[in-house]
Amino acid sequence: MDPLTGRVFALVAASRSARASSTGPRRPAPAGLRFKPIVYATALDNGYTPSTVIVDGPIEIDQGPGLPPWRPENFEASFAGPKPLRYGIEHSKNLMTSGSPRMSACR
């Protein structure tokens, strides 16, 4: 990450091959693992900086008539509260990317 602009040059993830069976089928990575980098990169391209504060906390998003609300969670089922965007990238926080209302509320 460029510290002056916040531009992301590379994204690195842990290898899943260490945990995967060499003889069994591999499951595809969850969509969130592929989606979060796009959300963070888009935020950085649209005026957010690594220092922009975003809330990592519970959120409930209406999905429309007849559907239950969506309540996304972090993998570790905990919340960090208001944190800079860089924290969300470093710790791969799901809730910090779950909806534009969350991001725009802290700009």
pLDDT tens digit sequence for 3-61: 777 777 666 655 555 555 455 556 666 666 777 888 888 888 888 999 999 888 888 88
Record the tokens describing residue 78, joined without a space.
């905990």
Q: What is the pLDDT of residue 66?
A: 93
Instruction: Inform me whether the pLDDT recorded for 86 exceeds 50.
Output: yes
Burial 64-89 (b: 16+ CB within 10 A, else e): eeeeeeeeeebeeeeebeebbbbbbb
Is 0.85 surpassed by the pTM of this model? no
Return the minimum-mean-pLDDT range out of 28-42, 55-69, 92-106: 92-106
Q: What is the average per-residue pLDDT within 81-101?
A: 82
Measured between alpha carbons, how far is 68 from 83 in angstroms, rounded to an integer? 28
